[in-house]
Each structure stands twice: as structure tokens, then as C-alpha cells.
């Protein structure tokens, strides 16, 4: 069956529920802001404990990733993400959720073939292209330093 673009668009609009942007956007903003507020609180606690600004930032990131991974493993983070939408995906907690979710989904396959192989299903491309981009950027930066002194 061959459909034109307009026919396909009509089928999609009939099958899709209308988005409640006026409700979803503020909700995502609030939940994302709440995650960031919690992160700021953790950062302030590490600063108050005597860590330097850089150390406190690193420990805050680690703590948020760990909390997100644990909440994903016990099934709470997906419930928050259902309501928070992009507000839960944008902070670092969303990346941790994306890394842990496939591993949790395939845990019945075992530790090596399930969890071990699926844990990097989402993170793998991010790590690969992030590393490749940083190498390329470093080479360009180095070459510009040679040329422009």
C-alpha cells in the first residue's frame, strides 16, 4: 500500500494522542529543576565538608549518577521520567538511567551476556563519539597552536 505524505500524516495524527504541552512543559521544567536543586544541595554538602570546588563537583556528579542508577534498578526512576519527560533526561541522571536501563532489561540473560553486554548499548556510542570528537578537537587545537603560535 503506497501512501502519500499527507495520507501518512493524517494516519499519524489520528493514531497519536494530542500532546498537552501546556501541562507537560512546566512539569518537565519543575522535575528537572528539582533534580538540579538536589544536585546543588549535594554540592553544597560536599563543599561544607571541606572539599575543593572541583572535588565537590566530581563527587556530586558521581553521587547523582549512583542515585539514578539505583533508582533505575529498583524501578523508581522510570516512574519519575514518565511524568518528568525531558526534565529527567537532560541532567546527568538521565544519562545514568539510559546506561542502566538496557542492562536491567536484559538481566535475565545473565551477568556477562545480559547485563555486561547491554550496559553500554546507549553509552557506547556516546563514549565513542565523545572520545573521537575530543581527539579531533585536540588535534585542531594543537595545529592552530603550531600555525598561529
CA angle 95–104–63, rounded 5-degree value: 40
In terms of pTM, does the model score above 0.85?
no
Contact yes or no for 85/27 (Cβ under 8 A):
yes
Q: Number of helices (H) and strands (E) in the chain: give both, helices first.
A: 8, 0
Domain ranges of the chain: 25-118, 123-149
What one-character DSSP code corresponds to residue 49? T
pLDDT in tens, 47-104: 999 999 999 999 999 999 999 989 988 889 889 988 888 888 777 888 788 777 777 7
Instruction: For residue 106, name the pLDDT band (cuts at 50, 70, 90).
Output: low
One DSSP character per residue, 11-36 reads: HHHHHSPPP-HHHHHHHHHHHHHHHH
Contact yes or no for 61/74 (Cβ under 8 A):
no
Amino acid at each position: 500500500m503506497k501512501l502519500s505524505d499527507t495520507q501518512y500524516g493524517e494516519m499519524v495524527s489520528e493514531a497519536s494522542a494530542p500532546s498537552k504541552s501546556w501541562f507537560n512543559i512546566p512539569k518537565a521544567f519543575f522535575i528537572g529543576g528539582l533534580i538540579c536543586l538536589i544536585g546543588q544541595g549535594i554540592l553544597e554538602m560536599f563543599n561544607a565538608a571541606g572539599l575543593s570546588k572541583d572535588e565537590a563537583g566530581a563527587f556530586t556528579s558521581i553521587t547523582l549518577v549512583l542515585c539514578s542508577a539505583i533508582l533505575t534498578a529498583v524501578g523508581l526512576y522510570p516512574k519519575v521520567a514518565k511524568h518528568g519527560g525531558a526534565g529527567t533526561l537532560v541532567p546527568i541522571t538521565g544519562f545514568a538511567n539510559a546506561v542502566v536501563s538496557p542492562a536491567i532489561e536484559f538481566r535475565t540473560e545473565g551477568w556477562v551476556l545480559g547485563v555486561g553486554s547491554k550496559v553500554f548499548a546507549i553509552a557506547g556510542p556516546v563514549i565513542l563519539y565523545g572520545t573521537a570528537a575530543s581527539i579531533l578537537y585536540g588535534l585542531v587545537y594543537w595545529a592552530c597552536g603550531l600555525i598561529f603560535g
